[in-house]
Amino acid sequence: MDKVDIILIGAGDRGTTYADLGAEFCNGSFNLIAVADPDPIRRNYIKDKFSLSESFCFDSWEQVLNMPKFADAVIIATQDRDHFAPTMIAISKGYHILLEKPAATTPEECLKISDYSKQMGVKIVVCHVLRYTPFFRLLKQIIDEGRIGKVVNLVHVECVGNVHQSHSYVRGDWKNSSISSPMILAKSCHDLDIDQWLIGKHCKNVQSFGGLLFFNESNKPQGAPKYCIQGCPAEEDCPYSALKIYKDRNFPAFVKTATKKHEPTDEDILEAITNTDYGRCVFQCENNVVDHQIVNLEYEDGVTVSFTMSAFNKGGRKLRIMGTKGEITAQMSDPFVSLFDFKTRKTIKINIADAVKDESIQGLHGGGDRGIIKTFCQYIAGNYKGNSVSDIETSVENHLVAFMAEESRVNGTIINMDHYIKELRKRVLI
């Protein structure tokens, strides 16, 4: 199979990114033939870029998936809570799927997707893009070569970034778990997945703490209006001013999301910060997801992981991986990984080939976005020879860790994986 015929369902930021990268980096194997999105501007962007006929441009996923199968695969990049229904229908039609994370927003739905795809023989690749970055592929190689012996424990810090937190998880679509999903799932199922991939073992027990400390009404500056543009007395000193972030175009990717335009004008930005939540005071939004959380995990053979997610930083990911023969110290923005060898007592610096320093969503996740779309085409065509692709069963198991962490955080409990899955199975019927 030289070309993979693909349908794009959801032409927002993530869907458009995958489409653009597929056209640029897949050497002609990425053949996008249809798009479904309710927004005519987004839909027409894909239509024009890929020279689609009007008959292959749809207002909804229902329209395109009600048709007989006419492609090899679909990319499902709708909002989180709109993943499950189109995924299940796509499976029933026999489409292979590139599914934006999280796979679904409840553990029951995740398990149903896994079970049904296996039943139907459909390949599903969940967009855990960190697996496809030069940075994490190098860490995996070092571990698998045994250079630090057996992994004993791993410390992983996800620095969300204070502005990213304000944009996506205070003002944006992922601010409220009742309409999206818990932040540990929406943001950090990436990281919980990568930790399990690096270790290569199953999780046994989960414990978590955290909460919404800062981005709430109690920290509102005195006299702050509902919208930044209305003249806030604290605007000059506030790092979350919508005027600074959007009007001054200091964060271009966030400006595109706020305006829902690929090439936003000043008028588009003014409209967004005047009449949408992207212009709201960050202390007066309907957000309820955490701004900091820690997760303690115990894996098979006693291996432990400490994962921290926090908004209060510049942004980035940092890891220390400690083994019986040595230790890895790594930061995704650094082009080198440090490896300390217990025998020689020396530290060596290992260059990350093809390193992409910008690990943020604006930097396409450190090369992971490009990597996953290339891999997906190879995987569907039967040409993939790497080890980054996860089967859907593994992806879902790592999703369940996120659900367990949120349950632990809310209820103050330690949750056993085997017991959790046993009880979940009782509630799931295909």
DSSP one-letter string for 334-354: SSEEEEEETTTTEEEEEE-TT
Q: Distance between CA 88 and CA 86 in Å, rounded?
A: 6
How far apart are alpha carbons 7 and 404 in whole angstroms? 33
Q: Report the alpha-carbon distance of residue 2 to residue 324 in Å, rounded.
A: 45
Name the average pLDDT for the chain.
93
CA distances 363 to 207, 251, 286, 355, Å, are 32, 11, 28, 12
- Counting beta carbons within 10 angstroms of the beta carbon of residue 371, is it exposed (0 to 12), middle (13 to 18) or buried (19 or more)? buried
**Do 4-130 and 131-215+288-427 come out as alike in CATH topology?**
no
Q: Where are the domains of the chain?
A: 4-130, 131-215+288-427, 217-279
Provide the CATH topology of domain 4-130.
Answer: Rossmann fold (3.40.50)
Q: How confident is the model at residue 203 (pLDDT cuts 50, 70, 90)?
A: very high
pLDDT the model gives residue 387: 83
Reported confidence tier of residue 25, pLDDT bands at 50, 70, 90: confident
Round the CA-based radius of gyration of the chain to a whole number and report it.
22
Closest CA to 184 of 214, 156, 153, 208: 208
Strands 336-341 and 73-76: unpaired
**30-36 vs 57-58, strand pairing mode:** parallel
Q: Kindly state the tokens that stand for 110.
A: 């995740």
pTM: 0.92
Candidates 393, 388, 358; CA nearest to 375 is 388
Give yes or no for a contact between 41 and 47, defined as CB atoms under 8 angstroms apart. no
pLDDT in tens, 141-178: 999 999 999 999 999 999 999 999 999 999 999 999 98
Q: Distance (Å, rounded) from C-alpha 93 to C-alpha 103?
A: 18
* Superfamily for the 131-215+288-427 domain: Dihydrodipicolinate Reductase; domain 2 (3.30.360.10)
Nearest alpha carbon to residue 163 among 226, 235, 240, 236: 240
Q: Residue 158 has which token pair?
A: 């996800």
Tens digits of residue pLDDT in 214-272: 999 999 999 999 999 999 999 999 999 999 999 999 999 899 999 988 889 999 999 99
pLDDT tens string 93-125 = 999 999 999 999 999 999 999 999 999 999 999
